[in-house]
A = this chain, B = another copy of it.
Amino acid sequence: MQTLRENRAAFERLRLRPRVLVDVSKLDMSTTILGQRVSMPICVAPTAMCRMAHADGEIGIAKAATTHGTCVCLSSWSTTSLEDVAQATPDALRWFQLYVYKDRVVTERLVRRAEAHGYRAILLTVDTPLLGKREPDVRNRFELPPHLTMANFVSEGPKSEGKQESGLALYVASLIDRTLTWEDIKWLQSITKLPIVVKGIITAEDTKIAVEHGVSGIMVSNHGARQLDGVPATIEALPEVVATVQLMNQNRPADKQVEVYMDGGVRRGTDVLKALALGARAVFVGRPVLWGLAYKGEEGVFNVLQLLKDELALAMALAGCVRVQELRERPVVVHET
């Protein structure tokens, strides 16, 4: 799995250029995303079916993120309904990750419910017209365990249907709309006032189209290397997306600046530093949050986020940066020679 390796390896090919003798006694890691302040540029990516990892599930994750003052994304395929998550974390900064179903009535209802329950953005995943080939899921005939449900839906969850197949792959093939095009962004905009962030773009070409279609943000993502194998690491794709957005932002009003985020392979504070230095406004983490959840529920997630926060603070201090903004203003990162 070339891309899974690359998501990590590409970070290690980048070199930091620290500056010394800077007063680092007062660090400010906070930033805003879509106008909302977060305590750090590290947020939680949407991951499906979290209650498989721990009974605390999506609510545990949302609580831990909220305690940290950062943003959490809820997957369409959560095992807790978006309403229950909202109720458990009323003050949370929550985004709703959307998969568009063939049944547009289902989809529309999902979006309206998210809007109604205080989710602040629609994170539209665009890299999953079909599910990537995940061989362990095939081997294990992946199914949602009987005691859990796709809680945002009344319909049944993924079943492997007695085949040597991933139940989730079958589910996507039968229910998710693979005819989705850029035109549908307009439809989405017509049914919600929420800002739209497209998740899964890794080329300058698509970035341009996305901005032209009025999205508010772009999440550079290869779905944690779970969709098309062979695509570049996200940290490698980030610069071309950032450059395209920066150019297009010049012609846009100050309050309509498109933001770029990234996820994929972020494991260390120095990874965050590198991503920010290459132009990401914030990073999102997937697996590490699940590892924390599996280990110790909400507390485990809290600890994982704390580790990353501490590491970022330390990395900023040792690099001589006191505000995240600075990271974009000087060459903190260079490619290996």
Report which A residues bind B (CB closer than 8 A). 2, 12, 14-25, 126-127, 129-130, 132-133, 178-182, 184-185, 198, 200-203, 205-206, 209, 227-232, 236, 268-270, 273-274, 311, 314-315, 317-319, 335-337
| One of B15, B130, B202, B317 near A129 (C-beta < 8 A) | B317
Chain B residue with Cβ nearest A204: B17
In angstroms, Cα B78 to Cα A123, docked, is 55
* Interchain residue pairs with CB less than 8 A apart (17): A15-B236, A16-B228, A16-B230, A19-B205, A20-B206, A21-B126, A21-B180, A22-B129, A23-B180, A127-B318, A130-B317, A132-B318, A133-B314, A178-B317, A228-B315, A228-B318, A230-B270
Contact A230 B14 (CB under 8 A): yes
Chain B residue with Cβ nearest A205: B19
In angstroms, Cα B210 to Cα A20, docked, is 10
Q: Which 10 A-B pairs have the closest CB atoms?
A: A228-B318, A20-B126, A16-B230, A230-B270, A23-B179, A15-B232, A25-B179, A2-B12, A21-B182, A25-B178
Contact A314 B21 (CB under 8 A): no
Chain B residue with Cβ nearest A318: B228
In angstroms, Cα B2 to Cα A274, docked, is 13
User: A18 contacts which chain B residues (CB < 8 A)?
Assistant: 127, 202-203, 228, 231
User: A209 contacts which chain B residues (CB < 8 A)?
Assistant: 21
A12 to chain B minimum Cβ distance, whole angstroms, is 5
Q: A21-B184, A23-B178, A203-B17 are in contact. Are A274 and B236 (CB under 8 A)?
A: no
Contact A270 B228 (CB under 8 A): yes
Q: A12-B2, A133-B311, A236-B337 are in contact. Are A203 and B318 (CB under 8 A)?
A: no
| One of B2, B23, B201 near A20 (C-beta < 8 A) | B201
Chain B residue with Cβ nearest A222: B18
Contact B20 A319 (CB under 8 A): no
Contact B229 A268 (CB under 8 A): yes
Most chain B beta-carbon neighbours within 10 Å: one of A228, A229, A236: A228
In angstroms, Cα B198 to Cα A273, docked, is 25
Contact B317 A230 (CB under 8 A): no
In angstroms, Cα B17 to Cα A206, docked, is 10
Contact B130 A206 (CB under 8 A): no
Q: A130-B24, A230-B14, A230-B270 are in contact. Are A19 and B314 (CB under 8 A)?
A: no
